[in-house]
């Protein structure tokens, strides 16, 4: 059976709270936010920076729950700055016959990285 790639998880309008160039690389996301949309540790993600248009792939590292952390690490620290808004996405292979019923998990964050809509 054929499968197609569809949006699985999306964190929209996340505000960058930190950046560390001297880090092995990844994007730190508060554990509670990541788990709300089903993002797992080390899961591959596509990130779009709404402030400068940069798009990049990296992976998820959990930060402390409840802190609203969204941190650019390693080379990704050069692709944005504190205060930038990000769209964080992951995708899944879905059997083609299940595609019409598929619903991604999406949250929209406010300026303090609290869930505004779910």
**Secondary structure string (H, E, C) spanning 30-78:** EHHHHHHCCCCCCCEEEEEECCCCCEEEEEEEEECCCCCCEEEEHHHHH
Contact (Cβ atoms closer than 8 angstroms) between residue 41 and residue 98:
no
Range of the domain at 44: 3-95+104-109
pLDDT of residue 118: 87
pLDDT, block means (10 residues), the chain with 118 residues = 95 97 90 98 98 96 96 95 98 96 98 95
Catalytic residue check, 59: yes
Token couple for 51: 């402030």
CATH number for the domain that contains residue 67: 2.40.40.20
Q: How many domains does the chain have?
A: 1
Tens-digit pLDDT profile for residues 61-93: 999 999 999 999 999 999 999 999 999 999 999
From 3, 9, 42, 59, active-site residue: 59
From 3, 20, 23, 26, active-site residue: 26
pTM above 0.75, yes or no: yes
pLDDT of residue 18: 96
Please indicate, yes or no, if residue 72 is contained in any of the structural domains: yes
């Amino acid at each position: 059976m054929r499968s197609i790639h569809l949006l699985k998880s999306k964190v929209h309008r996340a505000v960058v709270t930190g950046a560390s160039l001297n880090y092995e690389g990844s994007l730190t996301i508060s554990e509670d936010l990541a788990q709300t949309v089903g993002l797992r540790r080390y899961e591959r993600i596509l990130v779009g920076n709404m402030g400068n248009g940069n798009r990049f792939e990296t992976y998820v590292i959990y930060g402390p729950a409840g802190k609203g952390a969204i941190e650019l690490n390693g080379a990704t620290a050069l692709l944005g700055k504190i205060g930038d808004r990000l769209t964080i996405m992951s995708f899944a292979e879905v059997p083609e016959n299940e595609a019409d019923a598929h619903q991604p998990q999406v949250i929209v964050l406010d300026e303090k990285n609290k869930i505004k809509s779910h």
